[in-house]
Chains A and B, each alone.
Chain A
Amino acid sequence: GDSVTQMEGPVTLSEEAFLTINCTYTATGYPSLFWYVQYPGEGLQLLLKATKADDKGSNKGFEATYRKETTSFHLEKGSVQVSDSAVYFCALSDRGGSYIPTFGRGTSLIVHP
C-alpha cells in the first residue's frame, strides 16, 4: 500500500538558518504530493503541492521538488523565521491506487530568535 515517511522531529533551528525536512514515499500508481503546515491550535493548511515528476511546488519561501527516481519530496527553505514554527506534514494521493490521502506523521519545527 501507499506510505509516507518523514524525518522525526523536533527540528530546532536558529532564525535565518536553512531548513530541510526529508520526505520519502511509496505508491503503486501516480501520486500527487503535498506539504501541509499546522500552526498551534489550528487545522492543517496546504503549503505546496506537485502533481508529476520533476515539478517544483513553492509557497511563502518554501520549496519541494517531486523526485520520482528517489521517491522523495523534501521540503526546503533558505532562511527560516520564528513564525515558521509549526508542524509540517508530507502527504500523497495516489491517482492509480486507492485515491485516499496518505499522511506522514508530521515533523515539528522550532525556530529560535
Chain B
Amino acid sequence: NAGVTQTPKFQVLKTGQSMTLQCAQDMNHEYMSWYRQDPGMGLRLIHYSVGAGITDQGEVPNGYNVSRSTTEDFPLRLLSAAPSQTSVYFCASSQLSDQPQHFGDGTRLSIL
C-alpha cells in the first residue's frame, strides 16, 4: 500500500524555469491538498481539491497552478520559479477534509 507518493524527492531549478511536482494517492481519497513548509512558518496551504474536477486556492496560491483530472493525481505546477519558492512541498489526502490527513514524504525544492 503506497499511500501518498510524491515525485521528485529533490529538485534544483533556475529562476524562471517551470516544473510540475507530482502527487498520487492509491486510497481513493476525495480530498487532496498541497502545502509548503518553511522554517518558523509551519505549514501553509497552497491549493486544495475536494474531488476530481474541483480545485480551490489556499493561503498562498500565487505562482502555483493545480488541476485534478482524476481522483488519484493532484499535480502542482510552478509557472515561473522564483527564489521565494524555495521550500519543502507536501501533498496530503483524506477521504473527507475533516478526516486525518495522509502526507507524502515531501519534495525539497531549491531555486537559484
Contacts and interface: CB of A to CB of B under 8 A. Distances in A.
A binds B: yes
Interface of A: 32, 34, 36, 41-46, 49, 89, 91, 93-95, 99-101, 103-106
Contact of B98 (A32, A43, A45, A106): A32
B96 to A, nearest CB: 8
Contacts of A93: 97-99
A45 B97 contact: no
Contacts of A45: 103
Interface in B56-84: 58
B99 A43 contact: no
A103 B2 CA distance: 24
Nearest to A34: B100
Interface residues of B, number: 22
Contacts of B104: 43
Given A43-B90, A44-B90, A100-B48, A105 B100 contact: no
Chief secondary structure at chain A's binding surface:
strand
B27 interface: no
Given A103-B43, A105-B42, 9 more contacts: A34-B100, A43-B90, A43-B103, A89-B43, A93-B97, A99-B97, A103-B42, A105-B40, A106-B43
Nearest to A29: B98
Nearest to A30: B98
B101 interface: yes
B45 interface: yes
Contacts of B45: 100
Contacts of B90: 43-44
Interface string B1-44: 00010000000000000000000000000000100000011110
Contacts of B97: 93, 99-101
6 contacts: A42-B105, A44-B43, A99-B97, A101-B97, A103-B43, A105-B40
A101 B105 contact: no
Nearest to A96: B98
